[in-house]
């Protein structure tokens, strides 16, 4: 963690007693700034930050109008990140996502026109409204942080994060995400309606001296920069994980393949995602080591998109989270 902490300390100053305290304090400041624009949704904000600090991508599921775009814009502003939004539609082409080469008759050469993926935070809005061919245009950039255009690999800015959204209720005119695509998302976050008092506060805040329904992030202050986020990601990769904690994550993942109510269990990426996310949780808590509770805390969003229930379980009215929670509760966590 030495190199990352040195870079981070140089950026923030040396007032904090330790690097992990600096990471925790910065995480708290980013969360507080996002909360100025996004009323409520504390767990959602936290899970998005965990994915960012773990250098992962997130799939956000929820009905329209719950502030998904506002959340991404607010997060981008907190660290001076670039933000781009793609509205996925049935006629969207892969080149509309990644970019393409165009012929310039003046120079008699092909020029590269970069697509919206060349940003820090990419909002893929209603990703399941585009066919699989267009959805797969994100596969390379999500996995390798680059786009290949005319045989040339072009890197995207770092840090890079895809935040894809899909409507949990409306399925007409949608295409299911391919398994390979789903597996690239570190977390699947479910965003629900706010509590009543939060909704009252939201209405009062948004309608106060506001014309139209624009997304206002003017109250959000910039408290970091891309280099600081990269420093946290580098530090997160070196957070200590005891072998027993690794075994705990693997046991939960393997249990999904043996459960009678699950037709398709999680692959090895399930355990990998839990450990990566748990490391980010540890940093947000001011620790340089992972505890079993970190894994347990992040297990649902790390696994819910990696399994499929049997038709019988679905007919019984059970959800993916219900089945997973039972598996998580039954798993033996290491005690020492």
SS3 of 77-144: the string is HHCCCCEEEEECCCCCCHHHHHEEEEEECCCCEEEEEECCCCCCEEEEECHHHCCHHHHHHHHHHHHH
Phi-psi label, residue 230: left if phi above 0, alpha if psi -120 to 50, beta otherwise? alpha
Q: Is residue 217 a contact partner of residue 79, using CB atoms and an 8 Å limit?
A: no
**Mean pLDDT confidence for 265-270:** 94
138-164: average pLDDT: 91
At 17 the pLDDT is: 56
Alpha helices in the chain (DSSP H): 2-12, 19-37, 42-53, 68-78, 94-98, 132-135, 139-144, 179-183, 196-207, 226-236, 243-255, 268-284, 292-303, 311-315, 320-330
User: Of 168 and 105, which is predicted with more confidence?
Assistant: 105
Q: Which residue from 156, 254, 162, 199 is spatially nearest to 38, judged by alpha carbons?
A: 199
Which pLDDT does position 189 carry in this prediction? 96
Strand-pair category, 161-166 with 121-125: parallel
DSSP assignment letter at 289: B
Look at 145 and 64; give whichever has higher pLDDT: 145
Q: Which of 143, 240, 145, 192 is nearest to 44 (CA)?
A: 192
**Amino acid 329: pLDDT:** 95
**What span, in angstroms and rounded, lies between the C-alpha atoms of 93 and 78?**
31
Looking at the chain, how many residues does it have? 336
* Helix pair 292-303, 268-284: axis angle to 10 deg: 130
Q: Is CATH 3.40.50.1970 correct for 2-238?
A: no
Cα-based angle 204, 206, 212 (whole degrees, multiple of 5): 130
- pLDDT for res 16: 45
How would you class 166 by CB atoms within 10 Å of its CB: exposed for 0-12, middle for 13-18, buried for 19 or more? Answer: buried
Asked whether the predicted pLDDT for residue 216 surpasses 90, the reply is no
Q: Name which of 192-196, 198-202, 210-214 the model is least confident about.
A: 210-214
Q: What is the CATH number of domain 241-336?
A: 1.10.8.80
Predicted confidence band of residue 151 (pLDDT cuts 50, 70, 90): confident
For residue 158, what are the contacts with CB-CB under 8 A and spacing of at least 6? 120, 145, 226, 230
Check pLDDT > 90 for residue 170. no
Q: Give the mean pLDDT of 40-67.
A: 91
Mean pLDDT of 221-231: 95
Q: Which pLDDT value is given to residue 172?
A: 66
**Domain residue ranges in the chain:** 2-238, 241-336
Give the per-residue pLDDT at 336. 60
Confidence of residue 198 (pLDDT cuts 50, 70, 90): confident
Helix (H) or strand (E) holding 192: none
Q: What is the pTM of this model?
A: 0.88
Nearest Cα to Cα of residue 191 among 213, 171, 165: 165
* Angle at alpha carbon of residue 142, lines to 138 and 146, rounded to 5°: 90
Domains 2-238 and 241-336 share a fold: no
| Block residue for tokens 């039972």 | 326
Residue with tokens 């994060």: 161
Q: What is the mean pLDDT of the chain?
A: 87
Q: Phi/psi at 70 (nearest 5 deg)?
A: -60, -40
CA pair distance 287, 228, nearest whole angstrom? 18
If we measure between CA atoms, which residue out of 80, 79, 82 comes closest to residue 26?
Answer: 79
Would strands 152-155 and 83-87 be described as parallel, antiparallel, or unpaired? unpaired
């Amino acid at each position: 963690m030495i190199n990352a902490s040195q870079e981070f300390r140089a950026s923030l100053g040396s007032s904090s007693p330790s690097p992990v305290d600096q990471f925790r304090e910065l995480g708290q400041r980013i969360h507080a700034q996002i909360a100025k624009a996004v009323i409520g949704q504390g767990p959602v904000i936290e899970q998005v930050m965990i994915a960012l600090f773990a250098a992962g991508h997130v799939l956000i599921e929820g009905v329209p109008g719950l502030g998904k775009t506002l959340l991404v814009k607010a997060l981008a502003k907190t660290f001076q990140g670039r933000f781009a939004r793609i509205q996925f539609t049935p006629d969207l082409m892969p080149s509309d996502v990644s970019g393409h080469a165009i012929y310039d008759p003046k120079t008699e050469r092909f020029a590269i026109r970069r697509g919206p993926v060349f940003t820090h935070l990419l909002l893929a809005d209603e990703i399941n409204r585009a066919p699989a061919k267009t959805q797969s245009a994100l596969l390379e950039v999500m996995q390798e942080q680059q786009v290949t255009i005319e045989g040339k690999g072009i890197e995207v800015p770092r840090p890079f994060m895809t935040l894809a959204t899909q409507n949990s209720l409306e399925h007409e005119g949608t295409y299911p995400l391919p398994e390979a695509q789903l597996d690239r998302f570190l977390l699947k976050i479910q965003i629900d309606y706010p509590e009543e008092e939060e909704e009252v506060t939201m209405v009062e805040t948004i309608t106060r001296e506001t014309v139209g329904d624009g997304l206002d992030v003017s109250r959000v202050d910039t408290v970091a920069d891309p280099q600081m986020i990269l420093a946290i990601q580098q530090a997160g990769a070196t957070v200590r994980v005891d072998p027993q904690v690794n075994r705990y994550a693997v046991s939960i993942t393997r249990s999904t393949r043996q459960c009678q109510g699950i037709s398709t269990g999680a692959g090895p990426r399930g355990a990998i995602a839990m450990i990566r996310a748990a490391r980010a949780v540890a940093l947000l808590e001011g620790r340089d080591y992972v505890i079993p509770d970190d894994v347990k805390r992040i297990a649902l969003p790390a696994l819910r998109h990696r399994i499929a229930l049997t038709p019988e379980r679905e007919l019984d009215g059970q959800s993916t989270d219900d089945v997973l929670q039972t598996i998580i509760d039954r798993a033996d966590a290491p005690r020492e």
